[in-house]
Structure 1
Amino acid sequence: MTPLLKSFAALSAETRMSIVDQLITQGELPAGDLAPGAAISGPAISRHLKVLREAGLVTQRADGARRLYSARPEGLRMIAEWTQSRKGFWDGSLDRLEAALREDGA
């Protein structure tokens, strides 16, 4: 599986997408802070973090007995670059949608 496909597969789970978003907005966090109030066990969070690490989207570092996680800019940049490379497609699609909506409203 290519790195890009691995990244999209990792982000396809709502919990993993939420973890990455939390790390982007809040910065480095211990695993225990990644699902406050959620009905997700510690082992489940660990499995999600493993998938994200293997996809290159998060990094882990040890701080004594704690494991701290952060978003990995290089992995996220790859997704952003792919998305931006398809900008023409989205712009054209949205322009066609806008024209169709105007015709319907006329």
Structure 2
Amino acid sequence: MNTVALVGRIVKEIELRNIGEDRCVTNNVLAVRKPFKKDGSSDADFIPFVTWGKKAEIMEKYCGKGDLIALNGKMQSRKYQTHENETKFVVEMLVEDIEFIQRKVKK
């Protein structure tokens, strides 16, 4: 079974990319808080995620850097060739559902 549910903050501004044939995608990173360390400081895991189609459009329209969201989906791995002919491997979350929890507080 491949099911993932994460709650965290969006690391960078959402950028919608149109990739032809009425397809669009967003790639971003979710900062997921870890339990506090013994010294009281906090830490986070940074999980890459991707949204496609209508979900990508919703992310671009309603989400921004620092917003707290919940994502449901699955993990996927893929590989690609760089311009230098180097093989890169990526593990990322493929988002199937988005829940908006809290907008970033403007100071």
Which TM-score bucket, shorter chain as reference?
under 0.3
**Higher fraction of strand:** 2
**Higher fraction of helix:** 1
Q: Please give the TM-score of this superposition, normalised by the length of structure 1.
A: 0.24
Max Rg structure: 1
Q: Please give the TM-score of this superposition, normalised by the length of structure 2.
A: 0.24
